[in-house]
Structure 1
Amino acid sequence: MNTDELVELGQQLRVDSVRAAAAAGSGHPTSSMSAADLMAVLLANHLHYDFENPEHPGNDRFVLSKGHASPLLYSAYKAAGVLDDEELLTFRARGSRLEGHPTPRQLPWVETATGSLGQGLPVGVGIALAGKRLDHADYRVWVLCGDSELAEGSVWEAAEHAGYEHLDNLIAILDVNRLGQRGPTRHGHDLDAYARRFRAFDWHTIEVDGHDVDAVDRACSEAVSTRRQPTAIIARTLKGKGVRATEDREGLHGKPVKDAEEAIEELGGVRDLRVRVHLPDSARLLRAVGNGSLELPRWDKGDQVATRDAYGRALAALGTARGEIVALDGEVGDSTRAEFFAKKHPDRYFECYIAEQQMVAAAVGMARRGWVPYASTFAAFLTRAHDFIRMASISGSGINLNGSHAGVSIGQDGPSQMGLEDLAMMRAVHGSTVLYPCDANQTARLVAEMADLDGIRYLRTSRGESPVIYDPEEDFPVGGSKVLRASDRDRMTIVAAGVTLHEALAAADALGQDGIAARVIDLYSVKPVDRAALRRAAEETGCLLTVEDHREEGGLGDAVLDAFLDGRPVPRLVRLAVRTMPGSASPAEQLHAAGIDAESIAASARRLVGTAVVP
Structure 2
Amino acid sequence: MTNTATDTAPEARTGEDPIGFGELPRLMGLMTGDEKHGPAATSTLDALWVLYDRVLRVSPATATDPGRDRFLLSKGHGPMAYYAVLAAKGFFPVDWLPGFGAYDSPLGHHPDRELVPGAEIGSGSLGHGLPLAVGTALGLRAQGRPDPAVWVLIGDAELDEGSNHEALAFAGAAGLDRLHTLVIDNSSATHGWHGGIASRFEAAGWSATTVDGRDHRALHEAFSAPHPGRPHAVVARVEPKEKQVF
Partner of 1:237 in structure 2? 238
Partner of 2:208 in structure 1? 205
1:247 is the counterpart of 2:243: yes
Residue 11 of structure 1 contacts residue 36 of structure 1 at CA under 8 Å; is this kept in 2? no
Partner of 1:535 in structure 2? none
Cα distance per residue 1:133-165 (max 9 Å; x no partner)? 224231000101101111100001110111111
Counterpart amino acid of residue 54 in structure 1: A
Q: Select which of 175, 191, 210 maps to 1:186.
A: 191
Partner of 1:372 in structure 2? none
Residues 94/144 of structure 1: CA separation in 2 closer, same or farther (3 Å cut) = same
- Output the TM-score relative to the length of structure 2: 0.87
Counterpart amino acid of residue 214 in structure 1: R
Counterpart amino acid of residue 234 in structure 2: I
CA distance in 2, matches of 1:54, 1:191: 39
Give the C-alpha shift of residue 9 in structure 1.
4.4
Partner of 2:85 in structure 1? 76
Task: Please identify the structure whose Cα radius of gyration is greater.
Answer: 1
Residue 92 of structure 2 contacts residue 117 of structure 2 at CA under 8 Å; is this kept in 1? no
CA distance in 2, matches of 1:83, 1:191: 42
Give the C-alpha shift of residue 11 in structure 1.
4.5
Residue 54 of structure 1 contacts residue 109 of structure 1 at CA under 8 Å; is this kept in 2? yes
- Identity of paired residues, percent? 33
Higher relative contact order (CA 8 A, sep 6+): 2
Partner of 1:112 in structure 2? 121
1:12 is the counterpart of 2:12: no
CA distance in 1, matches of 2:72, 2:144: 18
Residues 18/177 of structure 1: CA separation in 2 closer, same or farther (3 Å cut) = farther
1:215 is the counterpart of 2:218: yes
CA distance in 2, matches of 1:194, 1:117: 17
Residues 98/179 of structure 1: CA separation in 2 closer, same or farther (3 Å cut) = same
Q: Select which of 100, 104, 108 maps to 2:109.
A: 100
* 3-state SS of 2:60 partner: coil
Residue 56 of structure 2 contacts residue 69 of structure 2 at CA under 8 Å; is this kept in 1? yes
CA distance in 2, matches of 1:18, 1:30: 13
Residues 239/102 of structure 1: CA separation in 2 closer, same or farther (3 Å cut) = farther
1:254-265 equivalence runs, <5 A:
none
Partner of 1:510 in structure 2? none
Residues 19/108 of structure 1: CA separation in 2 closer, same or farther (3 Å cut) = closer
1:226 is the counterpart of 2:222: no
CA distance in 2, matches of 1:158, 1:15: 37
1:163 is the counterpart of 2:172: yes
Residues 201/91 of structure 1: CA separation in 2 closer, same or farther (3 Å cut) = same
CA distance in 2, matches of 1:85, 1:50: 16
Cα distance per residue 1:373-396 (max 9 Å; x no partner)? xxxxxxxxxxxxxxxxxxxxxxxx
Counterpart amino acid of residue 238 in structure 1: E
CA distance in 2, matches of 1:11, 1:34: 16
Partner of 1:417 in structure 2? none
Give the C-alpha shift of residue 5 in structure 1.
2.4
Residues 14/50 of structure 1: CA separation in 2 closer, same or farther (3 Å cut) = same
Residue 59 of structure 2 contacts residue 91 of structure 2 at CA under 8 Å; is this kept in 1? no
Residues 5/153 of structure 1: CA separation in 2 closer, same or farther (3 Å cut) = same
1:3 is the counterpart of 2:8: no
Gaps of 5+ in 1: 241-245, 249-256, 258-262, 264-615
* 3-state SS of 2:146 partner: coil
1:38 is the counterpart of 2:47: yes
CA distance in 1, matches of 2:117, 2:176: 25
Partner of 2:62 in structure 1? 53
Counterpart amino acid of residue 83 in structure 1: F
Counterpart amino acid of residue 200 in structure 2: R
CA distance in 2, matches of 1:31, 1:10: 18
Counterpart amino acid of residue 220 in structure 1: F
Cα distance per residue 1:288-307 (max 9 Å; x no partner)? xxxxxxxxxxxxxxxxxxxx
* 3-state SS of 1:69 partner: coil
CA distance in 1, matches of 2:175, 2:25: 35
* 3-state SS of 1:67 partner: coil
Counterpart amino acid of residue 247 in structure 1: K
Gaps of 5+ in 2: 9-18
CA distance in 2, matches of 1:14, 1:145: 21
CA distance in 2, matches of 1:14, 1:88: 12
**What is the total number of aligned residue pairs between the two structures?**
233
Give the C-alpha shift of residue 16 in structure 1.
2.6
* 3-state SS of 1:96 partner: coil
Give the C-alpha shift of residue 10 in structure 1.
4.4
Residue 10 of structure 1 contacts residue 36 of structure 1 at CA under 8 Å; is this kept in 2? no
Counterpart amino acid of residue 168 in structure 1: D
Aligned CA-pair RMSD: 2.1
1:65 is the counterpart of 2:74: yes
